[in-house]
Amino acid sequence: MSGEVIEVTLDTRGQKCPQPFVEMVKVFMKTTGRVRVRVITDDEACLKFIPDYGRDLDFELVNVEEGQGYYVIVMGRSS
C-alpha cells in the first residue's frame, strides 16, 4: 500500500506554542511512511512556528485554513 497516506488530527486548542508542535512531532515519530497531520490550534503563534520548525525537520506545509477562532495547519511527510 505504497500510496496510502496516514492522516491524523490533533485538536490542540487551549495549548500554547510550542506544545502543539511537540504533539505533532510525536505523531511523525510514531509513524512511518506518508503521513499528514492536521493541527487544530487557537494560538496564532503556531501559524509561523509550526511550518518554520517543521521544515527544519523535513516536514512540508500542505495547507493552512482559518475557522472561527481557530486555525488548521496541515503538515505532511512524503516518506
Asked if the structure places residue 1 within a domain, the reply is no
Determine the structural domain holding residue 59 and report its residue range: 6-77
Residue 8 pLDDT exceeds 60:
yes
State the pTM of this model. Answer: 0.93
Instruction: Work out the pLDDT band at 2, boundaries 50, 70, 90.
Output: low
63: cell is 495547507
Long-range contacts of 54-57 (CB under 8 A, 24+ apart): 54/21, 54/24, 57/25, 57/28
Number of domains in the chain: 1
Please tell me the total number of residues recorded for the chain in this structure. 79
Residue 37 has phi, psi (to 5 degrees) of -115, 125
For residue range 26-79, list pLDDT tens digits in order: 999 999 999 999 999 999 999 999 999 999 999 999 999 999 999 999 999 987
The CATH number that applies at residue 56 is: 3.30.110.40
Asked if the structure places residue 55 within a domain, the reply is yes
Q: Where in the chain does DSSP place strands (E)?
A: 6-11, 35-41, 60-66, 71-77
